[in-house]
Amino acid sequence: MPEHAGPGTTSTVVAATPQRAVDVVVVGAGPAGSAAALEVARAGHSVVLLERGPYPGSKNVYGGVVYGRVLDELVPRWWEQMPVQRWVTRRSTMIMTPTQALTVDFRTQAWAGPPYNGATAHRSDLDGWLAGLAEKEGAVLVPSTVATGLLRDTAGAIVGVRTDRPDGDLTAKVVIACDGVNSFLAKEAGMFAGKPTGHVTLGVKETLRLPRSVIDERFGVAGQDGVDIEILGCTRGIPGGGFVYTNLDSLSVGVVVDPHGLAGKRLRPEELVADLKRHPAIEPLVRGGELLEYSAHLIPEGGYDTMPELVGDGFLVAGDAAAMCLAAGIWLEGVNFALGAGMYAGRAAVDALKVGDTSKTGLASYRRMLDESFVLADHRKLRRVPGLVLGQRMQESYPAMLCDLAQGLFHVDNPQPKPGLLKLVRRTLKRHGIRTRDVVSDALTGVRSFG
Amino acid sequence: MIGVLVVAALTWPGPRVAVDQLTGTVRTEEGRPGASAAGLAALEHVFRLAESLGGRALAVTIGPPQADEMLREALAAGALHVLRVEADPADDEAAARALLSAVAEHHGPPDVVVFGDDSGAVPGYLAALTDAAQALGLLELTADGGVLGGLRRLDKGRRERLEIPLPAVCSVEPVLRPRRAGLPAMLAARNTKIPVVRPDVPQHRFPSGPVKATAPRAYRPRARIVPIPAADRAIDRIVALTNGLGANALATGGSATVVTPPDAAAAADLVIEYLTEHGYLGDTT
* Pairs of CB atoms within 8 A across A/B: 51
Identify whether residues A330 and A271 lie together within a single domain.
no
Does any domain span residue B46? yes
Identify whether residues A79 and A35 lie together within a single domain.
yes
Label residue B218 exposed, middle or buried (CB < 10 Å: 0-12, 13-18, 19+).
exposed
Kindly report the nearest CA distance between residue B180 and chain A, in angstroms: 7
Q: Let me know: does B59 contact B74? Beta carbons within 8 Å.
A: yes
The confidence score (pLDDT) of residue A58 equals: 83
Label residue A138 exposed, middle or buried (CB < 10 Å: 0-12, 13-18, 19+).
middle
Question: What is the full per-residue pLDDT of chain A (451 aa) written as tens digits?
Answer: 445 545 556 788 887 677 888 999 999 999 999 999 999 999 999 999 999 998 898 888 877 789 989 999 999 999 999 999 999 999 999 999 999 999 999 999 999 999 999 999 998 899 999 999 999 999 999 999 999 999 999 888 999 999 999 999 999 999 999 999 989 999 999 998 888 776 788 999 999 999 999 999 999 999 999 999 999 999 998 988 999 999 999 999 999 998 989 999 999 999 999 999 999 999 999 999 989 889 999 999 888 888 999 999 999 999 999 999 888 777 888 999 999 999 999 999 999 999 999 999 999 999 999 999 999 999 998 888 877 777 778 888 889 999 999 999 999 988 988 888 899 999 999 999 999 898 898 888 888 877 6
The confidence score (pLDDT) of residue B45 equals: 96
Distances (CA, A) of B281 to A398, B273, B285: 56, 9, 11
The CB density around residue B249, as the number of other CB atoms within 10 Å, is 15
Q: Let me know: does B15 contact B66? Beta carbons within 8 Å.
A: no
| Cα(B103)–Cα(B278) distance, integer angstroms | 67
In the predicted model, what is the mean pLDDT of chain B?
Answer: 83
The confidence score (pLDDT) of residue B213 equals: 65
Confidence of residue B256 (pLDDT cuts 50, 70, 90): low
Chain A nearest-CA residue for B22: A288
Amino acid letter, residue A369: M
Q: Which of B138, B133, B169 is nearest to B154 (CA)?
A: B138
| Cα(A403)–Cα(A398) distance, integer angstroms | 8
Q: Let me know: does A272 contact A313? Beta carbons within 8 Å.
A: no
| Cα(A20)–Cα(A26) distance, integer angstroms | 14
Confidence of residue B259 (pLDDT cuts 50, 70, 90): confident
| Cα(A19)–Cα(A15) distance, integer angstroms | 11
Is the predicted ipTM greater than 0.85, yes or no?
no
Does any domain span residue B137? yes
Does any domain span residue B99? yes
Question: Is some CB atom of chain A closer than 8 A to the CB atom of B108?
Answer: no
Identify whether residues A282 and A234 lie together within a single domain.
yes
Identify whether residues A293 and A313 lie together within a single domain.
no
Give me the percent of chain B exceeding a pLDDT of 90.
Answer: 45
Does any domain span residue B230? no
What's the number of domains chain B is made of? Answer: 1
Q: Across the interface, do A288 and B22 touch by the CB < 8 Å criterion?
A: yes
Does any domain span residue A69? yes
Whether pLDDT at B78 is above 80: yes
Identify whether residues A284 and A340 lie together within a single domain.
no
Question: Is some CB atom of chain A closer than 8 A to the CB atom of B182?
Answer: yes
- Domain that includes residue A8, residue range: 2-85+121-196+305-372
The CB density around residue B205, as the number of other CB atoms within 10 Å, is 10
Does any domain span residue B36? yes
Identify whether residues A133 and A261 lie together within a single domain.
no
Chain B nearest-CA residue for A166: B182
| Cα(A230)–Cα(A205) distance, integer angstroms | 13
Identify whether residues A166 and A284 lie together within a single domain.
no
Q: Across the interface, do B33 and A55 touch by the CB < 8 Å criterion?
A: yes
Nearest to A142 among B25, B34, B186 (CB): B186
Vertex A195: Cα angle to A159 and A387 (nearest 5): 135
Q: Across the interface, do B184 and A143 touch by the CB < 8 Å criterion?
A: no
Q: Across the interface, do A48 and B33 touch by the CB < 8 Å criterion?
A: no
HEC letters along chain A: CHHHCCCCCCCEECCCCCCCCEEEEEECCCHHHHHHHHHHHHCCCCEEEECCCCCCCCCCCCCCCEECHHHHHCCCCHHHCCCCCEEEEEEEEEEECCCCEEEEEEECHHHHCCCCCEEECCHHHHHHHHHHHHHHCCCEEECCCCEEEEEECCCCCEEEEEECCCCCEEEEEEEEECCCCCCHHHHHCCCCCCCCCCCEEEEEEEEEECCHHHHHHHHCCCCCEEEEEEEECCCCCCCEEEEEEECCCEEEEEEEECHHHHHHCCCCHHHHHHHHHHCCCCHHHHCCCEEEEEEEEEEECCCHHHCCCCEECCEEECHHHHCCCEEECCEEECHHHHHHHHHHHHHHHHHHHHHCCCCCCCCCHHHHHHHHCHHHHHHHHCCCHHHHHCCHHHHHHHHHHHHHHHHHHHCCCCCCCCCCHHHHHHHHHHHCCCCHHHHHHHHHHHHHHHC
Q: Which of A427, A444, A434 is nearest to A399 (CA)?
A: A434
At A161, phi and psi to the nearest 5? Answer: -130, 155
Kindly report the nearest CA distance between residue A207 and chain B, in angstroms: 14
Which residues in chain B are closer than 8 Å to A169, comparing Cβ atoms?
183
Does any domain span residue B184? yes
Q: A300 has which bridge partners?
A: A200
Q: Which residues contact B262 (CB under 8 A, 6 or more apart)?
A: none
Q: Across the interface, do B22 and A210 touch by the CB < 8 Å criterion?
A: yes
Nearest to B182 among A140, A144, A167 (CB): A167
Nearest to A140 among B23, B25, B190 (CB): B190
Q: Let me know: does A56 contact A141? Beta carbons within 8 Å.
A: yes
| Cα(B141)–Cα(B113) distance, integer angstroms | 12
What's the number of domains chain A is made of? Answer: 3
Chain A nearest-CA residue for B182: A166
Q: Let me know: does A448 contact A385? Beta carbons within 8 Å.
A: no
Residues of chain B numbered 146-175 and touching chain A (CB < 8 Å)? none
Identify whether residues A133 and A249 lie together within a single domain.
no
Label residue B156 exposed, middle or buried (CB < 10 Å: 0-12, 13-18, 19+).
exposed
Kindly report the nearest CA distance between residue B20 and chain A, in angstroms: 8
Confidence of residue B88 (pLDDT cuts 50, 70, 90): confident
Whether pLDDT at B248 is above 50: no
| Cα(B266)–Cα(A249) distance, integer angstroms | 34
Residue ending a domain, among A283, A300, A317, is A300
Residues of chain B numbered 3-32 and touching chain A (CB < 8 Å)? 20-23, 25, 32
Q: Which of A142, A161, A210 to mutate to test the interface with B (most CBs of B within 10 A)?
A: A142
Identify whether residues A327 and A401 lie together within a single domain.
no
The confidence score (pLDDT) of residue A79 equals: 94
Q: Across the interface, do B22 and A145 touch by the CB < 8 Å criterion?
A: no
Residue ending a domain, among A347, A372, A397, is A372
Confidence of residue B230 (pLDDT cuts 50, 70, 90): confident
Q: Across the interface, do A142 and B32 touch by the CB < 8 Å criterion?
A: no
| Cα(B108)–Cα(B110) distance, integer angstroms | 6
Identify whether residues A311 and A335 lie together within a single domain.
yes
Confidence of residue B237 (pLDDT cuts 50, 70, 90): confident
Q: Which residues contact A100 (CB under 8 A, 6 or more apart)?
A: A403, A404, A406, A407
Whether pLDDT at B249 is above 50: no
Nearest to B187 among A140, A164, A209 (CB): A140
| Cα(A388)–Cα(A403) distance, integer angstroms | 20
Nearest to B186 among A55, A165, A214 (CB): A165
Label residue A226 exposed, middle or buried (CB < 10 Å: 0-12, 13-18, 19+).
buried
- Domain that includes residue B47, residue range: 5-15+27-197
Q: Across the interface, do A211 and B69 touch by the CB < 8 Å criterion?
A: no
Identify whether residues A368 and A400 lie together within a single domain.
no
Which residues in chain B are closer than 8 Å to A209, comparing Cβ atoms?
20
The confidence score (pLDDT) of residue B245 equals: 46
Kindly report the nearest CA distance between residue B39 and chain A, in angstroms: 15
Q: Let me know: does A24 contact A138? Beta carbons within 8 Å.
A: no
Q: Let me know: does A66 contact A303? Beta carbons within 8 Å.
A: no
Residues of chain B numbered 223-252 and touching chain A (CB < 8 Å)? none
Chain B nearest-CA residue for A141: B190
The confidence score (pLDDT) of residue A25 equals: 98
Identify whether residues A60 and A161 lie together within a single domain.
yes
Buried residues in A361-377 as b, exposed as e (16+ CB within 10 A)? ebbbbbbebbeebbbbe
Q: Let me know: does A432 contact A400? Beta carbons within 8 Å.
A: yes
Vertex B5: Cα angle to B98 and A144 (nearest 5): 80
Confidence of residue B31 (pLDDT cuts 50, 70, 90): low
Does any domain span residue B281? no
Does any domain span residue A403? yes
Does any domain span residue A60? yes
Q: Which of B134, B128, B92, B95 is nearest to B113 (CA)?
A: B134
